């Protein structure tokens, strides 16, 4: 059967989103951060509702109260741990260990929540995870990445993406993942190893120059003044590399996920163009003292969205109708979902 492509479309506008962003910022400041939960809902609803596939936007159905409850639970957990560490250190160890082993379960709850509050054409997504696979994805694999000095990092990232996305379904149709490990190693080498190695060499050169100055010109204050700008730049660069790596992992993801017998995805995101957008967005935000954040977010989201396409091997309307019927059969049609967003 012939496969036809249908690109995603983003209909949001910077001028329109600026009002939402500014009101969110001001209300968050006035309420000492409490409104940030509702701000997150407004932001996600704007981007979801304006992202179109086949002339229909996506939906985001979480409430600010659900997100606030989740944040309060996480905050209470941190406060409890701090109090126990201060006054009952022995009990702190047991509680900390219990939370450590509980974390995969809590992460699955968060993934389930985020899938459940997302919809397309009134059909909700669903996530069904397993505790031990989450334990491997979020605890064991990252640990192995650390002790192998990053050599297993691509394996860990691929395992994590496989776990999360293969457990998502839409109207009873599960998502299948075929992610190439070699692609993740190539991305890891280009995006992480080479830049970090270059920064390490640069750091060595700068520190050598700093500490080989004539004795009369050298002082502790001089050494710190010469190194401090580099350290600041280093941390900013590492943050930027992590951000870029995350986005490029997403581009690999959309090459390898599909709903068998119905839809597969593709993307035409050009790494050079995306890097240019990210760098110029960052500079625009800095030079505008943050006022161009809405413009930068819209610009980035539009480029990524409009370079992702779906390829349907079946009638799309029939596929969605079948998904809606399966959802109704399971009694999931827009029933209230009493979950909380733990932000994990």
| pLDDT mean over 42-49 | 96
Cβ burial, residue 42 (10 Å; 0-12/13-18/19+):
middle
Q: The pTM is what? A: 0.82
Q: How confident is the model at residue 2 (pLDDT cuts 50, 70, 90)?
A: very low
**Pair 296, 4: CB distance under 8 Å:** no
Average pLDDT on 81-105 reads: 88
Range of the domain at 104: 63-112
| Residue 269 or residue 295, greater confidence | 295
Report the pLDDT value the prediction gives residue 86, as an integer from 0 to 100. 85
Separation between Cα atoms, residue 161 and residue 103, nearest integer Å: 18
Q: Are 249 and 187 in contact (CB under 8 A)?
A: yes
Question: Given this model, what pLDDT does residue 292 score?
Answer: 96
Considering the domain boundaries, does residue 97 fall inside one? yes
For residue range 198-245, list pLDDT tens digits in order. Answer: 677 767 766 676 666 555 444 555 555 556 666 676 677 777 777 778
25/67 Cα distance (integer angstroms): 17
With respect to residue 77, please indicate whether it lies within any of the assigned structural domains. yes
Instruction: Tell me if 104 is assigned to some domain.
Output: yes
| Tokens coding 282 | 């960052």
Q: 195: burial class by Cβ within 10 Å (0-12, 13-18, 19+)?
A: middle
- 56's enclosing H/E stretch is strand 56-60
Q: Is the pLDDT of residue 195 over 90?
A: no
Given a cut of 70, whether residue 142 has pLDDT beyond it is yes
Count of domains forming the chain: 1
Q: Shortest CA distance to 124 belongs to which of 68, 55, 48? A: 48
Mean pLDDT of 271-293: 90
- Summary mean pLDDT of the chain: 84
Look at residue 122 and tell me if it is in a domain: no
* pLDDT of amino acid 37: 94
Classify residue 92: in a domain, yes or no: yes
Q: How much is the pLDDT for 340?
A: 61
In a domain, 69, yes or no: yes
Per-residue H/E/C for 169-206? EECCEECEECCCHHHHHHHHHHHHHHHHHHHHHHHHHH
Beta bridge partners of residue 308, listed in sequence order: 267
Residue 330 has pLDDT above 70, yes or no: no
Residue 334: which pLDDT band, with cuts at 50, 70 and 90?
very low
Please give the pLDDT value at position 218: 47
Contact 265, 310 (CB under 8 A): yes
Mean pLDDT of 133-143: 95
- Say if residue 172's pLDDT is above 70: yes
Looking at residue 289, its pLDDT comes to 94
3-state secondary structure of 333: coil
The answer, yes or no, to whether residue 250 has pLDDT greater than 90, is no
How long is the chain? 344
What is the pLDDT at residue 88? 84
Q: Which residues contact 273 (CB under 8 A, 6 or more apart)?
A: 303
Answer yes or no: is 339 within a domain: no
Indicate the pLDDT class of residue 327, thresholds 50, 70 and 90. low
At residue 26, the pLDDT reads 97
Residue at 80 is within a domain: yes
């Amino acid at each position: 059967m012939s496969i036809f492509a249908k690109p995603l479309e983003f209909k949001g506008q910077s001028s329109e989103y600026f009002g939402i962003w500014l009101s969110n910022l001001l209300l968050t400041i006035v309420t000492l951060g409490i409104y940030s939960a509702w701000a997150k809902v407004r932001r996600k609803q704007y981007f979801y509702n304006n992202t179109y596939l086949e002339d229909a936007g996506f939906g985001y159905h979480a409430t600010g109260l659900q997100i606030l409850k989740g944040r309060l639970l996480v905050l209470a957990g941190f406060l409890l741990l701090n109090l126990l560490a201060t006054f009952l250190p022995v009990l702190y160890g047991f509680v900390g260990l219990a939370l450590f082993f509980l974390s995969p379960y809590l992460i699955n709850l968060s993934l389930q929540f985020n899938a459940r509050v997302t919809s397309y054409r009134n059909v909700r997504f669903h996530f069904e995870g397993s505790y031990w696979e989450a334990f491997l994805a979020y605890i064991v694999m990252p640990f192995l990445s650390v002790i192998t000095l990053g050599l297993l990092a691509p394996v860990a990232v691929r395992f994590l993406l496989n776990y999360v996305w293969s457990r998502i379904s839409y109207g009873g149709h599960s998502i299948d993942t075929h992610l190439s490990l070699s692609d993740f190693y190539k991305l890891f080498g280009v995006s992480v190893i080479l830049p970090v190695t270059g920064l390490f060499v640069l750091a060595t050169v700068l520190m050598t120059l700093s500490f080989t100055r004539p004795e009369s010109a050298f002082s502790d204050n001089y050494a710190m003044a010469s190194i401090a700008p580099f350290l600041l730049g280093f941390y900013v660069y590492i943050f930027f590399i992590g951000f870029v790596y995350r986005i490029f992992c997403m581009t690999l993801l959309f090459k390898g996920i599909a709903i068998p017998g119905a839809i597969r995805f593709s993307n035409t995101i050009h790494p050079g163009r995306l890097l240019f957008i990210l760098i110029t967005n960052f500079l625009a935000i800095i030079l505008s003292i943050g006022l161009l954040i809405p413009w930068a977010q819209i610009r980035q989201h539009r480029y990524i969205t409009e370079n992702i396409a779906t390829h349907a091997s079946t009638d799309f309307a029939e596929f969605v109708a079948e998904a809606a019927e399966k959802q109704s059969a399971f009694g999931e049609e827009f029933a209230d979902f009493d979950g909380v967003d733990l932000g994990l």
